Amino acid sequence: MPEGFVTLAQGQGGEETWELLASLVFSRVRVKSVAGGVGLDWPDDGATVPLPDGTHLVVSVDSYTVNPPFFPGGNIGSLAAAGTINDLVVMGARPVAALDTIVVEEGFPLSQLEEIVESMVSTFEKEGVALIGGDFKVMPKGQLDKVVVTTVGLGVAKRPIVDKPKPGDKLVVTGPVGDHGAVILLVQMGLGGAEEISQGLLKSDSKPLTRLLSVLEKHADSVHAARDPTRSGLAGILSEWARSTGTIMVVDSESVPVREPVKRYAEMLGVDPLYLASEGAAVLSVEPGSADAVVEDLRAAGFEEARIIGEVRVSEKFRGLVVLRTPVGGHRILEPPRGVLVPRIC
């Protein structure tokens, strides 16, 4: 793409996205947060506004453009609801309400639109989140690719989790990573009929993380960062944390849980699973003395495959980088995500 035009890579959530946002938005905004809250001064999955009673209103906004809009394990409606809830949860907020905007292409099957809306509404209802408003638009045929869903989530946090990993912290994941990205990649490449998908052994992990809240609230003093690794995957989140704090993230590759079908297809397609999106997992940075207790409580809360995968360190030579410990005892740098791996993944 010639210089001066927007590229797909700038919407992937990796290095190109942050470079564009820094020049296009962050450099232009002077008031980046409400006094006492968190906003563009420390970009996270949401922003916070202090309330008179000492709690914080947490607000998140996201647009969903996944292609295809229906995929094994969900659709754009359930994905939008789960993603909205999860962005609030990883900031330590109890989801309360949501708003949505649906823009659909003229000629889109009404039955499919009904299924999308039903899945979104039912996901919110199951998690006790009120859908309190929204908007609906139709674009002429050919001016939009099927459907786009935008949501705003509102939650309340006693003490918001602001992503600031500290040296010595242990890195914890709540479960296997890369499921959603692997499924979307296979479907986009015409491999949706793969045996593991047809048998239900491989599907998107898209789901709300509401039950994570009890663990985050119990260990509020120990969890220094939390994020759901969606676009750009685990590698993207860890790279962002390392860059923003000037630390290094050291990860044991053997400890990262990845399902066998995801490993197999990622290897076949030449893709590292650590760059593939998850829509039902979270990564935490936890005070070392509490990490084992956090993992134990995560497993008790239903995250049976939660585990410690690495730690946060300080190194002038490698600051701002993610270092992967290999199975043979060596180390390699896990490069920050760049380029277009899987377009329109969420």
For position 295, which CATH number holds? 3.90.650.10
Per the domain annotation, does 342 fall within a domain?
A: no
Per the domain annotation, does 34 fall within a domain?
A: no
Q: Are residues 286 and 243 in the same domain?
A: yes
Task: State mean pLDDT over 54-61.
Answer: 97
Per the domain annotation, does 13 fall within a domain?
A: no
Q: Are residues 220 and 282 in the same domain?
A: yes
Q: Are residues 200 and 273 in the same domain?
A: yes
Task: State mean pLDDT over 288-300.
Answer: 98
Per the domain annotation, does 79 fall within a domain?
A: yes
Q: Are residues 291 and 178 in the same domain?
A: yes
Domain that holds residue 317: 170-334
pLDDT confidence tier of residue 14, bands split at 50, 70 and 90: confident
Residue 21 host element (H or E) = helix 15-21
Q: Are residues 174 and 277 in the same domain?
A: yes
Q: Are residues 116 and 237 in the same domain?
A: no
Choose the final residue of a domain: 106, 136, 157.
157
Q: Are residues 211 and 92 in the same domain?
A: no
In the predicted structure, residue 11 carries a pLDDT above the cut 70:
yes
Choose the final residue of a domain: 124, 157, 190.
157
Q: What percent of the chain has pLDDT over 70?
A: 99
In this predicted structure, which of 3-17, 154-168, 209-223, 310-324 has the lowest mean pLDDT? 3-17
Q: Are residues 98 and 193 in the same domain?
A: no
Residue 1, pLDDT score: 46
pLDDT confidence tier of residue 212, bands split at 50, 70 and 90: very high
Q: Are residues 145 and 238 in the same domain?
A: no
Q: Are residues 276 and 315 in the same domain?
A: yes
Residue 196, pLDDT score: 83
Write down the mean pLDDT value for the chain.
Answer: 94
Please report, for residues 28, 123, 148, 277, the alpha-carbon distance to residue 283 in angstroms, rounded to integers and kept in the order given. 31, 22, 27, 12
Structure confidence by residue, pLDDT tens digits, 298-308: 999 999 999 99
Task: State mean pLDDT over 269-291.
Answer: 96
Query: Which segment, 22-36, 42-56, 98-112, 331-345, is predicted with the most confidence on average?
Result: 98-112
d(CA 235, CA 119): 30
Per the domain annotation, does 65 fall within a domain?
A: yes
SS3 content of the chain, % helix, strand, coil (to 5): 30, 25, 45
Tokens representing residue 69 in the block: 């809009």
Q: Which residues contact 27 (CB under 8 A, 6 or more apart)?
A: none
In the predicted structure, residue 171 carries a pLDDT above the cut 80:
yes
- As a whole number of Å, the end-to-end CA separation of the chain is 23
Tokens representing residue 61 in the block: 């906004």
Q: Are residues 206 and 324 in the same domain?
A: yes
**Number of structural domains in the chain:** 2
Choose the final residue of a domain: 114, 133, 157.
157
Residue found under tokens 């986009």: 188
Q: Are residues 190 and 141 in the same domain?
A: no
Per the domain annotation, does 21 fall within a domain?
A: no
Tokens representing residue 31 in the block: 């008031």
Instruction: Tell me if 248 sits within 8 A of 238, measured CB to CB.
Output: no
Per the domain annotation, does 105 fall within a domain?
A: yes
Structure confidence by residue, pLDDT tens digits, 227-240: 999 999 999 999 99
Residue 98, pLDDT score: 98
Instruction: Supply the CATH number for residue 139's domain.
Output: 3.30.1330.10
Residue 156, pLDDT score: 98
Per the domain annotation, does 4 fall within a domain?
A: no
DSSP for 254-317, written as a single string: GGS---HHHHHHHHHHT--GGGS--SS--EEEE-GGGHHHHHHHHHHTT-TT-EEEEEEE--TT
Residue 193, pLDDT score: 81
